Chains A and B, each alone.
Chain A
Amino acid sequence: MKPGTRLKSAACDTEVMVIRAAEGLIECGGSPMEEAKPTQAAPLAADFSAGTLMGKRYVDADGRYELLCVKPGKGSLSVDGIALVVKDAKPLPASD
């Protein structure tokens, strides 16, 4: 998956931009995300329904995946069934 690719959720409104990705399957709300919005909505899986937040970055434990949420939704993100977590960035003082 190329950095800059925009993926849409089949289960909710979530859209993400890929910052970094490996070969695994990127999912939202329990269903695979795709570049085109699927015509048929997928059900929201209960285990992946915590929601996404605009502007947050989501990462896996190994730092192989990083997704930027550019549109929030009710589903939550995972790769091959393993939930991604919000990346905590230490806030820097504004310098410009």
Chain B
Amino acid sequence: MNIALLLEMAAEAAPGRTALVCDGKRWTYGDLLAAARGAFELIQQSGAEYVALLDESSEAAVIAVFGAALAGVPYCPLNYRLPDADLAALLGRIAPALVIGDEERVLRIAGDQDHTVLSREDFTLKAQETVPADDAREYDPGEGVAIQLFTSGTTAAPKAAILRHSNLLGYILGTVEFASADEADAALVVVPPYHIAGISALLSSIYAQRRIVMLPGFSPERWLSLVEEEAITNAFVVPTMLARIVDAMDRGASAAIETLRAIAYGGGKMPLEVIHKALERFPRAGFTNAYGLTETSSTVALLGPDDHRAALASSDPRIRARLTSLGKPIPTVVMEIRGENGEVLPPGEAGEIYVRGEQVSGEYKEKSALDPEGWFPTRDAGYMDEDGYLFLSGRADDVIVRGGENMSPGEIEDVLLTHPAIADACAYAIPSVEWGEAVGVAVVTREDHVAPDEGELRELVRARLRSSRVPEKIAFLPELPYNEMGKLLRRKVKDVLAG
């Protein structure tokens, strides 16, 4: 099974329908399939072992992912925000590759690595012009790797996560109904192409036959105006983007947003305040919180629109809390919370999230992380409540172990954020002679507020949680560090405050 099947089916059923809009250019399913087949020829001629993309989102990303699939060569989109040295090291790991995008940079930093380099325009044009040698082309059967993504490597050297055709098809065929979108439907894609959500957005929209509208460089104003211009119905955003969109609307930015009926978000923790505001700003939209990882081919749990509205409308604190939950596992995967010794934990107890299913690769180029039964340890810590709703507490490595007691940073942060003067909070482990580890926190004061007294913050945590959670060290920072996907970089906070 080859993921190219998704595009082949869409092109078979509706060759003339608009598949993609990018920079004002429109592409039909037929156009994209023809270009992907042209790209197959280019890839074969180049002798490349990988197809890499070093570029923002564009039609080239779609043509490259399917062209690479047809050729049986892994597609490896790279993070163009990386410093030269890091990027050169990654390019070295995939040489010889056909690299599409920033020609000048690749030649400058990896000129000796034997890559074939094409600019976005050259690649797209050549792929369109190259007609397959003959009709009876043998395309790759799709038994191998479709996509290789380097993990962000916040703790160590980036790992090469691999997704097989079977993982991605398992995800798409299991969660998306073919051609289920109306002809008027359009999805606004703003996630960078090197992120799993950026890839799954392309695959699922093509299979649903939902027109993709790409916005390569995000700005809230441009996002809002594209929603109006293209009558967008579906959008996926990371929390920081949603925060900026809501902010821009608060400052008076406006657009006709009535067509937007589904907003999905994920990739980082969504501040409660932002989702509350967004629910007000987009009263007609259904919100979906999606939880997934690169190694799981995207979404494994989601909190749907009905749960969002029910939580917002409820006076029961247990149901209101679901706005901060990741919802329930999707029907095609199974999930467990396990303790330190591998035992399955009951509801309410925090441990490591394990997941299993066809879409779960859990595989790196170097080795597989799956256990013998096929379970993938996500390294995410969390718990499920009595009703099966999943709550994330942070990375398993971020758990603070104080005198044998496991504490999740998220729990402490949530309490601190209820203080009217606190805009942002980060809890992390600090070394303690007495306890092994203790709680340290870094907080950001709201612009129009005075920094609260440390004792007041300690009292707040003591009152709401247990005394063991009370921070030993409190630091005030002008802002907290996030990566471009909206993930809080706890390790960086720790380093800054330790140094």
Interface of A with B (CB < 8 Å)?
A: 3-4, 17, 19, 54-57, 68, 70-71, 89-96
- Our count of residue pairs bridging A and B at CB distance below 8 angstroms stands at 75
Specify which of B174, B177, B288, B292 is in contact with A93 (CB 8 Å cutoff). Answer: B288
List the A side residues contacting B234 at CB < 8 Å.
94
Cα distance A95–B234 when bound, in Å?
A: 9
Please determine whether A94 and B13 come into contact, CB atoms closer than 8 angstroms: no
List the A side residues contacting B243 at CB < 8 Å.
none
Whether, in the assembled complex, B175 has its beta carbon less than 8 Å from a beta carbon of chain A, the answer is: yes
| Contact A19-B173, Cβ < 8 Å, known A90-B331, A95-B266 | yes
Specify which of B12, B197, B266, B288 is in contact with A71 (CB 8 Å cutoff). Answer: B12
Whether, in the assembled complex, B283 has its beta carbon less than 8 Å from a beta carbon of chain A, the answer is: no
Please determine whether A93 and B302 come into contact, CB atoms closer than 8 angstroms: yes
Q: With both chains docked as a complex, state the minimum distance between the C-beta of A13 and any C-beta of chain B, in angstroms.
A: 11
Cα distance A89–B176 when bound, in Å?
A: 9
Whether, in the assembled complex, B143 has its beta carbon less than 8 Å from a beta carbon of chain A, the answer is: yes
Cα distance A54–B5 when bound, in Å?
A: 12
Please determine whether A95 and B178 come into contact, CB atoms closer than 8 angstroms: no
List the B side residues contacting A4 at CB < 8 Å.
1-2, 141-143
Whether, in the assembled complex, B445 has its beta carbon less than 8 Å from a beta carbon of chain A, the answer is: no
Q: Could you list some 24 contacts between A and B, CB below 8 A?
A: A3-B1, A4-B2, A4-B143, A54-B9, A54-B13, A54-B178, A55-B178, A68-B173, A70-B5, A70-B9, A71-B12, A91-B180, A92-B304, A93-B262, A93-B304, A93-B305, A94-B204, A94-B234, A94-B264, A95-B236, A95-B299, A95-B302, A96-B200, A96-B266
User: Shortest 7 CB-CB distances between A and B: which pairs?
Assistant: A55-B178, A95-B290, A4-B1, A96-B200, A95-B299, A93-B288, A96-B201
Please determine whether B264 and A95 come into contact, CB atoms closer than 8 angstroms: yes
Q: With both chains docked as a complex, state the minimum distance between the C-beta of B369 and any C-beta of chain A, in angstroms.
A: 22
Cα distance A19–B358 when bound, in Å?
A: 12
List the A side residues contacting B359 at CB < 8 Å.
none
List the B side residues contacting A70 at CB < 8 Å.
5, 8-9, 12
Please determine whether B177 and A89 come into contact, CB atoms closer than 8 angstroms: yes
Cα distance A54–B29 when bound, in Å?
A: 16
Please determine whether B187 and A94 come into contact, CB atoms closer than 8 angstroms: yes
Q: Which chain B residue shows the least CB distance to A68?
A: B173
Q: With both chains docked as a complex, state the minimum distance between the C-beta of A23 and any C-beta of chain B, in angstroms.
A: 20
Q: With both chains docked as a complex, state the minimum distance between the C-beta of B345 and any C-beta of chain A, in angstroms.
A: 26
Q: With both chains docked as a complex, state the minimum distance between the C-beta of A3 and any C-beta of chain B, in angstroms.
A: 6
Q: With both chains docked as a complex, state the minimum distance between the C-beta of A60 and any C-beta of chain B, in angstroms.
A: 17
Whether, in the assembled complex, B274 has its beta carbon less than 8 Å from a beta carbon of chain A, the answer is: no
Specify which of B166, B173, B330 is in contact with A92 (CB 8 Å cutoff). Answer: B330
List the B side residues contacting A3 at CB < 8 Å.
1, 166
| Contact A56-B178, Cβ < 8 Å, known A4-B1, A95-B290 | yes
Q: Which chain B residue shows the least CB distance to A71?
A: B12
Q: With both chains docked as a complex, state the minimum distance between the C-beta of B173 and any C-beta of chain A, in angstroms.
A: 7
Cα distance A71–B236 when bound, in Å?
A: 31
Whether, in the assembled complex, B208 has its beta carbon less than 8 Å from a beta carbon of chain A, the answer is: yes
| Contact A96-B143, Cβ < 8 Å, known A17-B5, A54-B178, A71-B12 | no
List the A side residues contacting B288 at CB < 8 Å.
93-95
Please determine whether A93 and B331 come into contact, CB atoms closer than 8 angstroms: no
Q: With both chains docked as a complex, state the minimum distance between the C-beta of A40 and any C-beta of chain B, in angstroms.
A: 21
Specify which of B179, B266, B302, B331 is in contact with A55 (CB 8 Å cutoff). Answer: B179
List the A side residues contacting B208 at CB < 8 Å.
94
Whether, in the assembled complex, B393 has its beta carbon less than 8 Å from a beta carbon of chain A, the answer is: no
B159-190 CB mask vs A (1 if < 8 Å, else 0) is: 00000001000000111111110000001000
